[in-house]
Amino acid sequence: MTQPPPGQGPIDPRGVFSPPPAPGASPGGMAPPPGYFGQPMPMMMPQPGFMMPPPRGRGVGFAIFMTLIVVVLAVSILLNFMLLFSAGLKGGRDTQQETVIENGDPTNRIAVVSLDGVIMEQAAERFHKLLKSVEDDSTIRALVVEIDSPGGSVTASDEIYHDLLRFKSRPGKTMPVVIAQKSLAASGGYYVSCAGDFIVAEPTTLTGNIGVLFERFNVSRMFDKWGIEETTIKSTHSPFKNAESMFKPETPEANAYLQTIVDDAYGQFSGVVKAGRATATNPLKGKVEDVANGKIYTADQAFKAGLIDLIDYPDKAYAVAATRAGLTGSKPTVVRIKEMPGLLQDLLGAKSGIGTSGGESISTGGNHIEYNGVKIDASTLNDLLRPQLMYLWDGR
């Protein structure tokens, strides 16, 4: 019989084949007292220097990959923010873009600029910037101005007219200016046309409408009905200070006073027409008063009256400009120069649409209002709502 190790008593062979005690039983086989739950399991403490294994599927490579993704996204966001911020700094200055219309000699070029929409202060400013860029380009030999406008304010139309006169008669650098009238070159649009050396109208162009408007609305009768009275106070020695008020009844004296202002503006317009057509290829056929009667004319009627020089399309206007610039040796390059809005304005301009039951749509975006596809600059709308003299075809 095997001897037990030193210090240990003899082994009872009866316990070798005994079944294991029931869970929770005491070593002696006795049932545990109530409330006894046995000895707690000893807590396994990690040995010094022991490292827990990484979770399956997310090793060191995964951590590096996610770090790279975060870094790339952060850099991308930062770069985009810097681009937007940079564009925002330049948002007040429109950039310009050139588009080639006809390929030719790059050292002899014809510039094409457009005058579209209602001619108000901002339109005059934009046109001035385009004209300045043409002046600074030594390769440009002639200018074609494409006009598609119902006219606009007296002052803005006259500013563009003056800009063109100055442009084509610069000391030591004369340059021909040809006008290409599109669908509409009325009132202020025709006023600007008179600064050109040659006017080409398309067969479907409407032009002329030589005259002046000073739009007013009088609501004094409605105010009387509602019991509303205007109480504006004016200085004692300026009885005409409030003569144009829409809230008070009209008087013969006020109307006569305002009529003199409108007639002076008409005299300015008719003088521009007379001067512009005096040296034209197809001059006026009669007195300026015969055509400066506020009528809108078709291209055929305008040609017969001597208001335009040719009925044709823009490509003919480019050819006329090349001939007048003396570019007969080689075909010039024709480029369109236009303004491009700043990136920040283009990207961040909020746009919302409002539909009406009649199928009409209005949307606002950035600095303009769009009504059924026609864009109206917000500042232009403000200009139109204040009383002022207009070289404008109402068309209503």
CA separation (Å) from 219 to 3, 136, 165, 226, 359?
129, 51, 42, 11, 31
CA separation (Å) from 307 to 145, 183, 281?
17, 16, 10
pLDDT of residue 306: 97
pLDDT of residue 19: 55
Residue 168 burial by Cβ neighbours in a 10 Å radius (0-12, 13-18, 19+): middle
pLDDT of residue 326: 93
pLDDT of residue 352: 37
The answer to pTM > 0.75 is no
CA separation (Å) from 230 to 51, 227, 249, 250?
89, 10, 10, 13
Positions of the chain with pLDDT lower than 70, given as ranges: 1-66, 68, 71-72, 75-76, 78-94, 341-387, 396
pLDDT of residue 218: 84
pLDDT of residue 295: 96
Q: Tell how far CA 360 is from the center of its chain.
A: 21
pLDDT of residue 350: 40
| pLDDT tens per residue across span 360-396 | 444 445 555 555 555 566 555 555 556 688 999 977 6
The separation between the first and the last C-alpha atoms of the chain, rounded to the nearest angstrom, is 129
pLDDT of residue 172: 79
| pLDDT tens per residue across span 294-304 | 999 999 999 99
**Containing H/E element for 179?**
strand 177-186
> What b-and-e string marks burial along 68-89, b requiring 16 or more CB atoms within 10 Å of the CB?
eeeeeeeeeeeeeeeeeeebee
291/280 Cα distance (integer angstroms): 16
Say how many CA atoms lie within 13 Å of 99 toward its Cβ.
Answer: 8
pLDDT of residue 114: 96
377/300 Cα distance (integer angstroms): 33
325/344 Cα distance (integer angstroms): 40
pLDDT of residue 357: 39
139 Cβ contact list (under 8 Å, min separation 6): 106, 107, 108, 109
**Containing H/E element for 121?**
helix 121-135
pLDDT of residue 395: 72
Residues with catalytic function: 187, 241
CA separation (Å) from 249 to 108, 223, 227, 246, 261?
61, 10, 14, 8, 20
